[in-house]
Each structure stands twice: as structure tokens, then as C-alpha cells.
Structure 1
Amino acid sequence: MIDLIERYVTGLPDWAERPLVAVLAAMLGTLIALALHAVLFRVLGRITRASASEADDIVVNRLQRPTRWAFVAVGIVLAARETPALEAIWSRFSGFVMPILTGWIAIAVLHALVEAMIVRADITVENNRNARRRRTRLSIFSRIGTFLIVFLSVAGVLASIPGVREVGVTLMASAGLAALAVGAAAQPALKALIAGFQMAMTEPISIDDVIILDGEWGRIEDIRTTYVVVRLWDDRRLVVPSNRFLEDTFQNWTKTTSQLLGTVFLYLDHGADIAPIREEYTRQITTHRLWDKRAQILQVTDCRDATLEVRLLMSARDGPTLFDLRCEIRESMMEWIRREMPEALARRRELQVAPMELAAAPSMIEAMSATASPANGNGRGSAGAPH
């Protein structure tokens, strides 16, 4: 086929013959490569659609685009072996193209494998602790791997430039100064990379963990190499540096399990009868759909000047369920007390004084003042006068 192209352009001037042969050879190699790629992925598509697994569909879809360009590059390389004009042109660009294509394919393979494994880690089930841990590690390692592949690809492209390569060798010769410069320049990237490794290994947080940070309640939505996205209860997003979860204190409500204990406080009158209230609370909590049957108790935890503090302890399978359980129990218990035991509601007591006592109060005050005042100028009252 290459011979036919050369025969076709024979007779043209040399300045036109060589570029035209190179272009036609490159086009021929590209067309053959695209045809082979289309046939291959059509077959793979039929195979993946016939299977019940989603993982193979993800891998094929991820690899289709980068491998198309890789097939084109391979077709041009094969055509260049038979065409000196194309080989001369290709040799000038292969140092840029091949590292980029290799890195692109490596990233596509990495992301395809990560997505395929994430599909198997379902976090929508009730007991999803292991699935959340697996998804967190996959997410962090995927970003770290992507960073390393991009770094190596850029290094490969720069190494193909003779001027840059010579500068790199010169800098390596003066290793002391180069090490300081590179270390200072790469400090943020290296710090973020190390923090990512620490997050993956120590696991202070996982995807979908419930945390309390700066007084805000939210779930871990995404973990990046340098920051973490927390979705708050009102759908706001809190962006937090990754280092903060390694250096500062925060609350993780689902570190080991999602089950939690919660309390509801009732403030009742001192004369309230606690036994019927305890029986009603036991009846309500044991029949409630959100209670996980782990803990329930009613206790008088404090006696204040005006009220008794009654604590209702309960448990639920996770934080949002516990919040709903507490709200519903608080509402139903207060409604029952208002309906069945209104005397248990807290009252404000005041001292009531009769009208006759109020009228006699000024004369009593004057009598007390006269008794306490001195009887004569020597400063002694009648009680202190000599007999």
C-alpha cells in the first residue's frame, strides 16, 4: 500500500513529493487504525451488554476514547516504518505524543478500575461501614495515582526537549541548590500528597460519615487530595483542608458504628408523679418505629428551684433517625402530659398576701424603726438606760 502511494506521487517536485507521501501514509495508517478500533469495541460492547455486571461496561466506556488515539498513534508508527518522509516528521513529535497518550491511557485504566470497584461498594445499605471505608480508600488512592501519572507524563514530555533535559542535568550537578529549590517549590504538593496517604491509612473520616465540625452537623460528601467537602444539614457545602482532620479535634458520629444514643429533657413541676410518666414513656418508645431496641430509660437528673429535670434516654440506628425520634417522642410526651397529667406541668409560684396584712405593714415598719432609734442624745436607747 505504501508502494502504491509512492508510485502515485512519483514525478512531483521533491519539495512537494515528500510531504505529500508523509500525509497520505499518515492518513492511510489512521484510517486502518480507526477501523480496527471500531470493530474491536463493537465486539466488546456486545459482550459487555450481554453480561449482568456493570464493571465491564465502565471499563469499556472509559477506555474507548484514549485507546482510539492510541490506535491512531500505532497506525502512524507502522506507516512511518515504511515511509522515510513520515518517519522524519513523526520522530520530531513522538517525544511529546507518546508520553501524553501513555499517561492518558494509564489514567483511564486507573479510573475504570476504581469506578468498577466503587460499584461493588454499595453505601445505600443500612450496615455500610466497610463499603464506606473501601470507597474512601479508592477515592484517595485514585487521586494520588492520577497526580503521580500526570507528574510522570509531564516529566516525560519535558525530558524529550533537549534544552530542558540539559538544564535538568545541570541542575542535578548542583544537587544542593537544586534540592532546596525543588523542595521549596514542591512543599505544598508533597504535603497534600502525604496528607492524602495519611487519610487513606489512618481513616479519621470516610465517605458518608456524620461529623460535627465548628458546631455544624453534616456528612462527608467528597474527599480530595487537599480538601474535604462536607455537606451540611441544610445542603450547604463546607470545604475543609485535609490537614485539619489530621491535626484538629472534631466529632465523628459514625467512626465505628452509626448507632447513637440521644436524650430528651422535660422540665416538670416538683409535685409531678414520675411513675405514670415513666410507664407512658416506656409504652411510647417500645412501640415507636424508629427505636432500635438498644436503650431506653427515664430518670430525674436534676432538681432546680422551679422545676424537676427529667431525662428520657433513647437509641437509634443513625444520627438522622435519632433526631427524628427525639423530636417525635418530645412532642408526644408533652401532649400526653398536657392531656392526662396537667398538674405535672411546671408552674410559677408566688407568695399571696391578704389585704389587711398589706394595710398593717406600714405601721409595723414604723414601730420597728422607733424601737431601733436612739431615745436620747447619748446614743443609748430605752433598753440601754440605767434603772
Structure 2
Amino acid sequence: MPWYLLLGVGALAAVAAAILGVYLLHRLIRRLGRRVRVLASLARRGYRPAQVLAVLFALQLSLLLGAPGGGWREPVLHGLGLALIGAGAWLVIALVLVFEDASLARIRLDRADNRQARRMHTQITLIRRVAVAVIAVLTIGAMLMTFPGARAAGTSLLASAGVIGAISALAAQSLLGNVFAGVQIAFSDAIRIEDVVVVEQEWGRIEDITLTYVVVHLWDDRRLILPTSYFMAKPFENWTRRESRLLGTVELDVDFAVPVEAMRAELRRALEASELWDGRVCVLQVTQAINTLLRVRALVSAADAGSLWDLRCLVREDLARWLREQHADALPRLRVEQARPGGGRDEPAPADDADARLFGDTADGRERTHAFSGPAGNPAEN
């Protein structure tokens, strides 16, 4: 039998044995995973990369043991080696994902006070992304080092590493700045996933944090994409950094005839009838008296930003309805002066003309006229 037929049969047998071995191991881990969640994640994420790695290893071993020497043998072995490095990196990344799944499974975000949980969720997610990026860079470097020319080029480039580093840092300044900002965000606790923020005058929640950008899910289902460096360089509002409970205001302009005490009682009645109110704050104050109107501010509280928004709208609607139905005389109104039937008006007695003119016929007025008119006495000529 020719050697290539023997090689083919041996390679097929090795590949079949590798696939069968990985399959049996996968079945065993999946069965154990019914009781252990980590093993279930390992069976789900590690099966394909382990299968590819085992097949490539079986092929390489078959070539090493059964293939005769020749010009084709070394390139094929080199290609299989590169594929093995890639498959090994794939398996390592799968193990990193298993670690992420196991860590996130212990973190519950459905609790009322989930600030610490959201912080850990953000950190674990960013650590996983950093680990995947490092593994990818090391894998590419390991593949390049298998080429003799690349090793020689790497040795020669070490002498000019300072220049190359400076050029690379200059070229990747923005990218590296965002990467470092992403790592800083993960451990500075400035923002976390699911935080409610106001950024660029838009209200939303943090949906995703990567090494280079942050996704903000806005209230109207738009997505605002911002570089991570933005949150380290510009101010923004974080409504849930310490806790999710918030205070909100409702302002109304009303007439001076408004019964403030009755309006305060109506505010409390509306809040006590709503499930959105958390029972902490119920305050109504007159904050300003502007021209013919009073500005009344209602201060209310809720357990989270979404409930607060709905509660403010409910309070605004209820107070407007109460004013319209119970105290219509307290609604904002415009007062005008009506002329007398004869066409004249009740005018006050005219004041002294000297007190009504800045440039009047007094010593000080004449001095001002001369000063602001110029030497020729006509401002237009100057």
C-alpha cells in the first residue's frame, strides 16, 4: 500500500478518535453541568474550540509520525502549527468567557439596591474584554514568531524600539486614551452598566461600556455612542451613582389668589394615592413672586428615575386639574387697565420736569448735555 494511503487512513483514524474523545468528554461535562453551572457554561462555550484543537493536533501528530520527508511536509506542518496556535487562543478565550459567565451568574441586577452589583458587572465585563484583546495580540505575535524572517526583523527592530514606540504612541493617542479611560471607568466607579445619566442634555441609562466607547440607551429608544474619554473629560449627571432614589420638582405659575395651604394638602393627597411615591418627600413652597404671578414648586421623591418622571407628570396633571376645577380664580391671568368712558385716563399729577430728565434744564443737566454732545454741540458731527 502506498505511503500516502497509509498516511490518509492514519490521519482519518486519528481525527475520528479525536472527535469521538472530545464528544464523549463534552457529554460528560454537560451531564455534570446539570448540577454545576460552571460546567454547563464550559460545555457550551468550549466544545467547538476543543473539537477544532483536537482535530488539528491529530493531523499534526499523524504527519509527524507517518509522513516521509519532502518539500511539502514543512509548509504543511507550519500551517498546522499556525492553526493550532489560533485554536488554542480560541479555547483560552472560551475559558475566559466561562469565567465571566460564572462571575456574572452570582450577580443579581434585579434587586432594588443594585449599585454594587452593577459596579461588579461593569468591571467583570471590561476585564473580559481586556483579556480577550491581550490574548489576540499575543496570538498574532506567536504566529509571527514562527516565521524566521519575522524573528530576524523583530531582533533588528529592537534597536529602534524607542522611535517606533514614540511614533506608535502618537498615531494611537486617541485610541489608547479611550482604552485607558475605559479601564479607569471600570475601577473608578464613575459610571456603571444600568446607571441613569444625563449627558449632552439627553436622559438615558448606560447600556454598554467597552474599552473605547459607551452606549447610552436614551429614553426614546435612541442610542447615544460616546467615546470613553468623554466621561473622563466632560461633566455629566449620574442619577444612580450612590442610590437609585431621587428627588424631583414640579413648578407652576399661579395667581396671587391661590390658597397655598389647600394646594399643599392636594399635593399630599395626590402623592398618597399614587404607588409611584416612596413616602420620603412631599413639599410645596412658593419660591418666587414674578410680576403678577406666584411660582409654586412641588418637591416629590421616588424610588428610581423612571418612577420619578411619571410621578412628576402625575402631580403636574393633578394640580392643574385641581386649580381648574376648585380654584379657577387662582389660574394665571393678565390684568389690564380700562380707560374711562370719556376717553381719558386717571393720570397721576405730573412730576417736576427736572426730576424726569437726565439732560434737563438744570446745572447738572446742562453739564451732561455739553459732555455728551462734544465741542460742536452736535453728537452726529463727532
TM class by shorter-chain length?
A: 0.7 to 0.9
Matched-pair contact (CA < 8 Å) for 1:265–1:310:
yes
Tell me by how many angstroms 1:42 deviates: 1.4
Matched-pair contact (CA < 8 Å) for 2:248–2:301:
yes
Pairing 1:343–2:343 present: no
DSSP-derived class of the 2:286 partner = strand
Structure 2 vs 1, CA of residues 311 and 69 (structure 1 numbering), >3 Å: closer, same or farther?
same
Q: Which amino acid in the other structure matches residue 53 of structure 2?
A: A
Max radius of gyration: which structure?
Answer: 1
Matched-pair contact (CA < 8 Å) for 2:257–2:330:
yes
Equivalent residue number for residue 49 of structure 2: 66
Pairing 1:83–2:66 present: yes
State the alpha-carbon separation in 1 of the partners of residues 28 and 327 from structure 2. Answer: 76
| Pairing partner for 1:170 from 146, 156, 160 | 156
- Paired-residue identity, %: 33
Equivalent residue number for residue 372 of structure 2: none
Pairing 1:97–2:83 present: yes
Matched-pair contact (CA < 8 Å) for 1:258–1:319:
yes
Q: What pairs up with 1:212-223 in 2 under 5 angstroms?
A: 212-223=198-209
Tell me by how many angstroms 1:84 deviates: 4.7
State the alpha-carbon separation in 1 of the partners of residues 82 and 203 from structure 2. Answer: 49
State the alpha-carbon separation in 2 of the partners of residues 265 and 361 from structure 1. Answer: 37
Equivalent residue number for residue 385 of structure 1: none
State the alpha-carbon separation in 1 of the partners of residues 310 and 324 from structure 2. Answer: 21
Pairing 1:27–2:15 present: no
Equivalent residue number for residue 42 of structure 1: 27
Residues 187-228 of structure 1 show CA distances to partners (whole Å, capped at 9, x for unaligned) of 455434322221111122100111111111111111111111
Structure 2 vs 1, CA of residues 209 and 354 (structure 1 numbering), >3 Å: closer, same or farther?
same
| Pairing partner for 2:221 from 235, 251, 257 | 235
Equivalent residue number for residue 40 of structure 2: 57
Tell me by how many angstroms 1:350 deviates: 1.3
| Pairing partner for 1:248 from 226, 234, 244 | 234
State the alpha-carbon separation in 2 of the partners of residues 345 and 224 from structure 1. Answer: 51
Structure 2 vs 1, CA of residues 353 and 216 (structure 1 numbering), >3 Å: closer, same or farther?
same
Q: Cα RMSD between the aligned structures? A: 2.4
Q: What pairs up with 1:305-324 in 2 under 5 angstroms?
A: 305-324=291-310
Equivalent residue number for residue 276 of structure 1: 262
Tell me by how many angstroms 1:348 deviates: 1.4
Structure 2 vs 1, CA of residues 302 and 197 (structure 1 numbering), >3 Å: closer, same or farther?
same
Structure 2 vs 1, CA of residues 361 and 41 (structure 1 numbering), >3 Å: closer, same or farther?
closer
State the alpha-carbon separation in 2 of the partners of residues 265 and 314 from structure 1. Answer: 11
Q: TM-score, normalised by structure 1?
A: 0.83
Gaps of 5+ in 2: 351-382
Matched-pair contact (CA < 8 Å) for 1:205–1:255:
yes
Matched-pair contact (CA < 8 Å) for 1:268–1:346:
yes
DSSP-derived class of the 2:243 partner = coil
Q: Which amino acid in the other structure matches residue 310 of structure 1?
A: V
- Bigger share in helix: 1
Q: Which amino acid in the other structure matches residue 265 of structure 2?
A: E
Residues 133-182 of structure 1 show CA distances to partners (whole Å, capped at 9, x for unaligned) of 11111111111111000000000000001111111111113444343344
State the alpha-carbon separation in 2 of the partners of residues 347 and 293 from structure 1. Answer: 34
Tell me by how many angstroms 1:45 deviates: 1.8
Q: Which amino acid in the other structure matches residue 33 of structure 1?
A: A
Matched-pair contact (CA < 8 Å) for 2:32–2:40:
no
State the alpha-carbon separation in 1 of the partners of residues 111 and 296 from structure 2. Answer: 36
Residues 334-370 of structure 1 show CA distances to partners (whole Å, capped at 9, x for unaligned) of 11222122222122111123313x1x569x9xxx9xx
Structure 2 vs 1, CA of residues 354 and 259 (structure 1 numbering), >3 Å: closer, same or farther?
same
Matched-pair contact (CA < 8 Å) for 2:182–2:209:
no
Structure 2 vs 1, CA of residues 109 and 195 (structure 1 numbering), >3 Å: closer, same or farther?
same
Residues 73-132 of structure 1 show CA distances to partners (whole Å, capped at 9, x for unaligned) of 333344345425399556433431232122111111111211232233222332211111
Q: Which amino acid in the other structure matches residue 11 of structure 2?
A: A
Q: TM-score, normalised by structure 2?
A: 0.84
